[in-house]
Protein backbone atom coordinates (compact mmCIF):
# COMPACT_ATOMS: atom_id res chain seq x y z
CA UNK A 1 0.00 0.00 0.00
CA UNK A 2 2.90 2.25 0.75
CA UNK A 3 4.18 1.73 -2.81
CA UNK A 4 0.80 2.73 -4.26
CA UNK A 5 0.74 5.97 -2.18
CA UNK A 6 4.26 6.75 -3.39
CA UNK A 7 3.26 6.06 -7.00
CA UNK A 8 0.18 8.33 -6.71
CA UNK A 9 2.31 11.07 -5.15
CA UNK A 10 4.90 10.80 -7.94
CA UNK A 11 2.18 10.81 -10.59
CA UNK A 12 0.52 13.89 -9.05
CA UNK A 13 3.89 15.72 -8.85
CA UNK A 14 4.58 14.82 -12.48
CA UNK A 15 1.19 16.21 -13.57
CA UNK A 16 1.78 19.48 -11.70
CA UNK A 17 5.29 19.84 -13.20
CA UNK A 18 3.97 19.16 -16.74
CA UNK A 19 1.11 21.65 -16.31
CA UNK A 20 3.53 24.29 -15.04
CA UNK A 21 5.93 23.75 -17.93
CA UNK A 22 3.16 23.98 -20.52
CA UNK A 23 1.83 27.20 -19.05
CA UNK A 24 5.24 28.98 -19.02
CA UNK A 25 5.83 28.99 -22.84
CA UNK A 26 8.59 30.73 -24.75
CA UNK A 27 8.61 32.64 -28.00
CA UNK A 28 11.00 34.10 -30.53
CA UNK A 29 10.82 36.49 -33.47
CA UNK A 30 10.85 35.33 -37.08
CA UNK A 31 11.89 37.99 -39.60
CA UNK A 32 10.89 37.49 -43.22
CA UNK A 33 13.01 39.28 -45.80
CA UNK A 34 11.85 39.65 -49.41
CA UNK A 35 15.01 39.64 -51.52
CA UNK A 36 13.33 38.49 -54.73
CA UNK A 37 14.40 40.58 -57.73
CA UNK A 38 11.99 41.95 -60.34
CA UNK A 39 12.40 40.32 -63.76
CA UNK A 40 11.77 41.17 -67.40
CA UNK A 41 12.34 38.97 -70.43
CA UNK A 42 11.91 39.22 -74.18
CA UNK A 43 11.95 36.01 -76.18
CA UNK A 44 11.69 35.35 -79.89
CA UNK A 45 12.87 37.15 -82.98
CA UNK A 46 11.52 39.85 -85.25
CA UNK A 47 12.16 40.31 -88.95
CA UNK A 48 10.27 42.73 -91.12
CA UNK A 49 9.98 42.31 -94.86
CA UNK A 50 8.85 45.49 -96.60
CA UNK A 51 7.60 44.15 -99.92
CA UNK A 52 6.23 47.37 -101.42
CA UNK A 53 5.85 50.98 -100.43
CA UNK A 54 3.62 51.18 -97.37
CA UNK A 55 3.38 47.37 -97.19
CA UNK A 56 5.28 45.45 -94.52
CA UNK A 57 5.08 41.82 -93.53
CA UNK A 58 6.19 41.27 -89.94
CA UNK A 59 7.57 37.88 -88.99
CA UNK A 60 7.60 38.05 -85.24
CA UNK A 61 7.58 35.53 -82.45
CA UNK A 62 8.70 38.14 -79.92
CA UNK A 63 7.04 37.98 -76.52
CA UNK A 64 7.43 40.05 -73.38
CA UNK A 65 7.03 38.91 -69.78
CA UNK A 66 7.79 40.56 -66.45
CA UNK A 67 7.22 40.16 -62.74
CA UNK A 68 7.46 42.44 -59.74
CA UNK A 69 8.40 40.90 -56.42
CA UNK A 70 9.47 43.64 -54.05
CA UNK A 71 8.76 47.20 -52.95
CA UNK A 72 12.43 48.17 -53.08
CA UNK A 73 14.39 48.64 -56.31
CA UNK A 74 17.73 50.29 -56.94
CA UNK A 75 17.90 51.55 -53.36
CA UNK A 76 14.45 53.17 -53.49
CA UNK A 77 11.96 51.94 -50.91
CA UNK A 78 8.16 51.90 -51.03
CA UNK A 79 8.01 51.63 -54.82
CA UNK A 80 4.38 50.93 -55.64
CA UNK A 81 4.34 50.91 -59.45
CA UNK A 82 6.72 50.09 -62.25
CA UNK A 83 6.81 50.72 -66.00
CA UNK A 84 8.31 49.05 -69.06
CA UNK A 85 10.21 51.38 -71.35
CA UNK A 86 11.46 50.74 -74.87
CA UNK A 87 14.36 52.35 -76.76
CA UNK A 88 16.29 51.53 -79.93
CA UNK A 89 20.03 51.45 -80.50
CA UNK A 90 19.70 53.59 -83.64
CA UNK A 91 17.18 55.47 -85.74
CA UNK A 92 15.32 53.67 -88.51
CA UNK A 93 16.38 54.36 -92.11
CA UNK A 94 15.00 57.53 -93.67
CA UNK A 95 11.44 56.95 -94.88
CA UNK A 96 10.84 53.96 -92.57
CA UNK A 97 8.53 54.17 -89.58
CA UNK A 98 7.79 51.49 -87.06
CA UNK A 99 5.90 50.93 -83.83
CA UNK A 100 5.63 48.30 -81.15
CA UNK A 101 2.72 47.77 -78.79
CA UNK A 102 2.00 45.42 -75.91
CA UNK A 103 -1.21 44.57 -74.10
CA UNK A 104 -0.68 43.26 -70.56
CA UNK A 105 -3.14 40.96 -68.84
CA UNK A 106 -5.80 42.67 -66.72
CA UNK A 107 -4.24 44.01 -63.53
CA UNK A 108 -0.67 43.82 -64.82
CA UNK A 109 -0.30 47.41 -66.02
CA UNK A 110 -1.70 49.84 -68.56
CA UNK A 111 -0.67 49.80 -72.21
CA UNK A 112 0.73 53.03 -73.64
CA UNK A 113 -0.45 51.99 -77.11
CA UNK A 114 1.84 52.05 -80.14
CA UNK A 115 5.34 53.34 -79.33
CA UNK A 116 7.76 54.47 -82.04
CA UNK A 117 10.61 52.08 -82.78
CA UNK A 118 13.82 53.69 -83.89
CA UNK A 119 13.76 56.32 -81.16
CA UNK A 120 16.86 56.18 -79.00
CA UNK A 121 15.20 57.90 -76.01
CA UNK A 122 13.26 55.52 -73.77
CA UNK A 123 9.47 55.71 -74.15
CA UNK A 124 6.83 54.13 -71.93
CA UNK A 125 5.34 50.92 -73.32
CA UNK A 126 3.46 49.80 -70.17
CA UNK A 127 2.74 51.94 -67.10
CA UNK A 128 1.08 51.47 -63.70
CA UNK A 129 2.49 47.97 -63.16
CA UNK A 130 1.62 47.04 -59.56
CA UNK A 131 3.75 45.20 -57.03
CA UNK A 132 3.70 41.43 -56.66
CA UNK A 133 2.39 40.43 -60.11
CA UNK A 134 3.55 38.11 -62.87
CA UNK A 135 2.83 38.96 -66.51
CA UNK A 136 3.04 35.80 -68.59
CA UNK A 137 4.54 35.82 -72.09
CA UNK A 138 2.40 37.90 -74.45
CA UNK A 139 3.02 39.10 -77.98
CA UNK A 140 4.98 42.23 -78.82
CA UNK A 141 3.13 43.64 -81.82
CA UNK A 142 5.40 45.32 -84.37
CA UNK A 143 4.19 47.38 -87.32
CA UNK A 144 6.39 49.00 -90.00
CA UNK A 145 5.98 50.92 -93.21
CA UNK A 146 8.28 52.56 -95.78
CA UNK A 147 7.54 55.55 -97.95
CA UNK A 148 10.61 54.97 -100.18
CA UNK A 149 13.41 52.49 -100.78
CA UNK A 150 16.14 52.14 -98.14
CA UNK A 151 19.23 50.17 -97.17
CA UNK A 152 18.47 47.31 -94.78
CA UNK A 153 19.44 47.80 -91.18
CA UNK A 154 19.61 45.82 -87.92
CA UNK A 155 18.75 47.64 -84.71
CA UNK A 156 18.62 46.52 -81.10
CA UNK A 157 15.44 47.29 -79.19
CA UNK A 158 15.86 47.37 -75.41
CA UNK A 159 13.07 46.86 -72.90
CA UNK A 160 13.58 47.98 -69.27
CA UNK A 161 11.43 47.40 -66.17
CA UNK A 162 11.86 50.58 -64.10
CA UNK A 163 10.36 52.46 -61.17
CA UNK A 164 7.55 54.78 -62.09
CATH number of domain containing 44:
2.60.40
Domain count, the chain: 1
Neighbours of 61 (CB within 10 A): 11
Q: What is the mean pLDDT of residues 46-74?
A: 85
Task: Note whether residue 124 is domain-resident.
Answer: yes
Torsion sign, CA atoms 148, 49, 122, 131: positive
- Could you tell me the pTM of the whole model? 0.78
How many Å separate Cα 13 from the centre of its chain?
61
Domain limits for position 67:
39-163
More confident residue, 73 or 122: 122
- Separation of alpha carbons 36 and 55, rounded Å: 45
- Separation of alpha carbons 141 and 19, rounded Å: 69
Residues 6+ apart with CB under 8 A from 65: 39, 40, 41, 43, 134, 135, 136, 137, 138
SS3 labels along 117-135? CCCCCCEEEEEEEECCEEE
Task: Note whether residue 100 is domain-resident.
Answer: yes
**Given a cut of 90, is residue 37 above it in pLDDT?**
no
Task: Note whether residue 47 is domain-resident.
Answer: yes
Task: Note whether residue 51 is domain-resident.
Answer: yes
- Separation of alpha carbons 71 and 163, rounded Å: 10
More confident residue, 67 or 7: 67
**Given a cut of 90, is residue 11 above it in pLDDT?**
no
pLDDT for position 90: 95
Task: Note whether residue 7 is domain-resident.
Answer: no
- For residue 44, give the DSSP letter: S
Task: Note whether residue 159 is domain-resident.
Answer: yes
Amino acid sequence: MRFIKFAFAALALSAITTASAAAAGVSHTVTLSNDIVDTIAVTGDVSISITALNTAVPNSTAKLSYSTHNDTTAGTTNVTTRKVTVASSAALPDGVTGTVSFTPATGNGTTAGAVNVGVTTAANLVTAIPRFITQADAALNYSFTASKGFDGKVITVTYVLADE
